[in-house]
Amino acid sequence: MLRLYHEFSRFTGKLFVASDDTEFEFTVGSDIAKVNGKEQKLPAIVTLKDGLPVLPLNFLLDKAGYQYSLSNEKLVVTFAD
């Protein structure tokens, strides 16, 4: 629904995510991400859980331009009019 494309290589630890206008590259064990080719500091290190990357969702939503709200442990993402 968010129109995100992703690829993850367990061999390199790299996660590539793309939205319509934004491309991300995350690396397991790093707190630096590339957003449209420019390095940006993450609020936390990318880790693995059950072999899958865990990253700060708010960073991805903010940089991709999605509107969202978080209240009472409920995340609401606005992705279409």
Q: Give domain limits for the chain.
A: 5-78
Q: Please name the residue that has the structure tokens 């442990």.
A: 73
Q: How confident is the model at residue 1 (pLDDT cuts 50, 70, 90)?
A: confident
Residue 81 has pLDDT above 70, yes or no: no
β-sheet bridge partners, residue 49? 52
Joined together, the tokens standing for residue 61 give 């939503």
Residue 70 has pLDDT above 90, yes or no: no
CB proximity list for 36: less than 8 A, separation 6 or greater: 22, 23
pLDDT of residue 79: 73
Superfamily of domain 5-78: Copper amine oxidase-like, N-terminal domain (3.30.457.10)
Greater confidence, 79 or 61? Answer: 61
CA distance 17 to 59: 12
Q: How confident is the model at residue 54 (pLDDT cuts 50, 70, 90)?
A: very high
